[in-house]
Amino acid sequence: MHTRWYRQLWVFLRSREGFGALLIAAFSAIALGIVPNMLQKLWDSGWFYLAVFLVATVTVVLGWILHRERGVGVIIQMFPLLPTETGRLEALLAASAKNHSSTLFIRPTLLQPAGELLAPPARADLVANLIDARVAEQTRNGREGNVTIYPLAQMRDGFLLGQRLADDRAKTFTVMHVSATRNTVLPSVKLATHLASPLTPEQQALLNNCLKQPDAPVAPIAHPNCPPEHRHRLAFIVRLSRGDTMTADARHVAETGHVRLPSGRHTGYVFAPEHPETPTTPCGAHFIVEASTDYLPETQQTFESIATHLYRTWTVARDEWQAESGSPDIETRLFLMAPLPITMALGWLMSRTNADVAHHDFRIARQSTPISEAP
């Protein structure tokens, strides 16, 4: 049913853009109307008219601020949510509607054409193509093509999406984050070239407060029992949030290739989606970066500093292991427990390298029962 024009006008005037347009129209007329009177009263008492003129001019600017183009918000939901997780999605939708002129909502169903789930690289490529199409539409209409991303994704999907977005170096992407403590949406990482720059003293000070031994020399720990044909693999283990057994579990998988511990408990790392018990190939060495606190300070400077530190540390570790192992091409396997924006930034930085993220399924890890506790 077609909405009547006066209802459409009322809806527009109630919006942020409509209110801005109304302020511009009304106070532009006031400001311009004051000018002749100011000229007439210039030799009398023009201060009052000048004050009114300045207030009207400032209000016109305010109206422009409310009416201006504010870029595109992209909500990316790459997995079905549990009932307890819907609040995060609602917070992202509300933040995008508040901060941007338009919102692109990429639902999980878009990533399952004909009911079949796409492979992780194909999912990341499809999401990036959808973003590119929306930005192209915005710029054709003379609007700003700024993109702010509100992601809900698993670690591997986030890393792959960051890698794919690195192909669009001409664009700057701001990644938002749902606070774990305040339940608010905060800017966390800007995917741009500054992430690859050396750390500043201020950034180094932040790392000293939230990471374990950030200044320690990078020395990959070799696995003596690794078969020679697998020594070119390097495990990068990153734990930036609370996980009591994450580091030990990742080390076990990296050293042995087995997804279950000797106790029988499943680590949750899955390398064949249809067969979660399938082992993987071991790595020749590993190195670890861990947080010193359960929760990182949720600021953009902290997240970007950590992303830069991870990238630079990994670069040193890769080069050292390449020299020690004698392998010309080092393959990095990442075991990540980190805020999603940092994971995306790391993927963006490592876009042209031989690296992948080990998928971790929390459900399998929680439901797993050690052999010693089995009935």
Structure tokens at 64: 């422009």
The answer to which of 115-119, 301-305, 319-323 has the lowest mean pLDDT is 115-119
pLDDT value of position 278? 93
Residue with token string 């023009």: 46
pLDDT digits (tens, 9 = 90+) for 40-90: 555 555 565 566 556 655 654 554 444 444 678 999 999 888 888 888 899
pLDDT, residue 25, reads 62
Look up residue 31 and give its amino acid: A
pLDDT-wise least confident of 113-122, 140-149, 270-279, 358-367: 140-149
Place of tokens 């070799």: 222
CB neighbours (10 Å) of residue 65?
Answer: 12
Q: Is the pLDDT of residue 39 over 70?
A: no
Residue 268 backbone phi and psi in degrees, to 5: 95, -10
Contact 104, 134 (CB under 8 A): yes
Q: How many Cβ atoms are within 10 Å of 305's Cβ, its own excluded?
A: 25
Mean pLDDT score of the chain: 83
Tens of pLDDT, residues 103-161 = 899 999 888 887 788 899 999 999 999 988 888 887 765 555 678 999 999 999 999 99
Distances (CA, A) of 363 to 250, 278, 313, 369: 16, 17, 31, 12
Amino acid 11: pLDDT: 61
Question: Model confidence over 236-248: pLDDT tens digits?
Answer: 999 998 888 999 9
Q: Which of 157, 170, 89 is nearest to 123 (CA)?
A: 157
Residue 2, pLDDT > 50, answer no
pLDDT computed for residue 64 by the predictor: 45
Comparison of pLDDT for 221 and 16, the residue scoring more = 221
The CA-CA-CA angle for residues 352, 354, 359, to 5°, reads: 110
Give the integer Cα–Cα distance in Å for 9 and 2. 13
Going by pLDDT thresholds of 50, 70 and 90, the confidence category of residue 350 is: very high
- Does 95 have pLDDT greater than 50? yes
Pairing of strands 359-360, 285-290: unpaired
Q: Which residue has the higher pLDDT, 243 or 302?
A: 302
pTM for the full model? Answer: 0.81
